[in-house]
Chain A
Amino acid sequence: MKEKSLLKKITGSREALLVVILILLFAIVTALSPSFLTPKSLMEVLKNNSVTIIMALGMLCVMLVGGIDISIMSTAALSGMTIGMLLKYEKISNTLLAFVIAIAIGTLCGALIGLIISRADVPPIIATMGFMYIYRAMAYLVSNGGEWAGAATLGNYKDFANKSFLGVNSILWIMIVCYLFFFIFMKWTRTGRKIYAVGSNPNAAEVSGINVKNIKLLVYTMMGFLAGLGGAVHVAVYASAMPDLQQGGEMNVIAACVIGGVSMSGGRGTVLGALLGALILATITRALPLVGVSALWQNMIKGVLILVVVVVNVILQRIADNNALKGREM
């Protein structure tokens, strides 16, 4: 009886299932390579995937309204490269100021995308594809045609990712704050619930007095904010800014959300799910070279694992939906 209810609980919630998958992954990887499950190693996993983990929050919101944003890593590159160059040529030296500038640039980039999508009604994939090229090109322009800002030129900024506050690494702090904020924002604020409403049924949302256009503008702006932050975090973690930073990384962010159970058609997905999806992806990325999978096979296995996780997730979601329906009939 008890067993059944546990099974029901797991199949009843996507997040619980993802937790099980994550624990399973941890167990397998640790069995194959015991050094994986050490605090240092886990911290490295978080730090090395911090950009994806942070940006998954923005992508969650974008996908909740039925959109997609493939320009995010170009935005990150533009903001990261800009502060890299500002630090390199000693226009600024303050770490906090660098973060503020990167976030400001990202937010502006995101707002522009949001305006085009919400006001001109351009399909998100097309609009963000355009901006993907535009912002990446701007990152190259900012870099004087391909200059890098290396560790030696970044001043204090390069040490930021190694600093700790109250015993917790600075990058981890950023992630914690972001996730706490979005957890509360999405669950308990009116605007957060409006995002869900717009995604579930845009027409109904419109009729009920929600300004759908402004909600769309808002989610792309928030995505931009996080992309700018992600750019700054990338430069801090790798102590290096280059115009091609994180090229192709947007797929990791989208994959993290998809694994986390965020629906591509909108309306469904949670902050916890995005986090778990990003962590599962990070664990896979870390584990493959660790357990000695040949380099040529790593992408193949990564792809297969993503599909398996998503398919299992979808099947169990269907079971859960059926169970829920059954409950209603009774």
Chain B
Amino acid sequence: MTDIATKPAPDAAAPKGDLLSKFDGMIELRETILASGVEDPYNLVMEKVLSPTRAICNGRDTILLGTYNYMGMTFDPDVLDAGKEALENFGSGTTGSRVLNGTYQGHKECEDALKEFYAMDHAMVFSTGYQANLGIISTIAGKGDYIILDIDSHASIYDGCAMGKAEVVPFKHNDIEALEKRLKRLPEDAGKLVVLEGVYSMLGDVAPLKEMIALAKKYGAMVLVDEAHSMGFIGEHGRGVCEEQGVIDDVDFIIGTFSKSVGTVGGFCVSNHPKFDVLRLVCRPYVFTASLPPSVVATAATSIRKLQHGANKRAHLWENSKRLHAGLIELGFPLGTPEPQSAIVAVIMPDLERGAMMWEALLKEGLYVNLARPPATPAGMTLLRCSLCAEHSAEEVETILEMFERAGKAVGII
């Protein structure tokens, strides 16, 4: 019943049998945007990266406000030193799977750092966050099991569901009642997994985890929470929204990533489940891929340990988020949430065309934000997504607001 983001060729211009002709609609859309003279939002090159918050983009000195580098760890001196040392001592890559020759001392240390960070018994490191969701979800929920998920879940969650062949039951975004109705109708004795995200990255809104996890438990479902966009920032120890709402002990699996607050690449799952370690043997996206390079796990472990003591940075990041949110509201931009809920502030654009124009106007001002459009966005919205960093200074946030004001007026949307 659902539509797909592709459509067949409008006429027979493409040669018969061309498997790529199903993307003609997408090619057309892209060409329409580029024909209006806008720089390609999906082809930006950062020629130089000066700091977690500044880069030379397409030849311009640019403030970065769309990188998910929430805690600004990418240039932390201790993190860089750890990476250099590992590169020197362990080489550039492992050339192997975690279960064969790809587990080095650094991988164990990285998993130890995660266990300590979350105060949990088990941790499993994947090569990306995408693979962590893909692997854990597809492995634990198989044919005949049910996955109950928020309709706005990330692509990696949906792909994990499809790979595992479980029955997928979506419910309306952040709707507690819709979740309960579905849990109530499912067979009592079936295996059930409720999949939630702490922060939804498109609008930057937070899930009512406390209520939802209580319902999952009431109906005998296990719970997996993706805390990709909250780790390091939300919660007293930066463990995420489930810590903030006091329900972390009721979560069976937390999924996270190293590519946001941690500042490198990789993914993980932490859990207190006594049988958790068996997943290392049966989880295909863990087994059948090369492990992370030694320098990456060394930077990740160092960064995670530093994030444990990042209370001051967390406080400053909240200040930034609150100021940007309030400033944009004052300027008259409609935002994704009525109040700041995370380090993401989503500015709602009237349509894709003006969204692309606004994106370009900001880039020319020297500001990079994410242009997000359907089908990645909910309700067919076009968004300019701003993700703040703890390293943005208060002055920089004011500069950002001035840029938004000039660009918004130039494009005629405020």
Q: Do A and B bind each other?
A: no
| A interface, CB within 8 angstroms of B | none
| B interface, CB within 8 angstroms of A | none
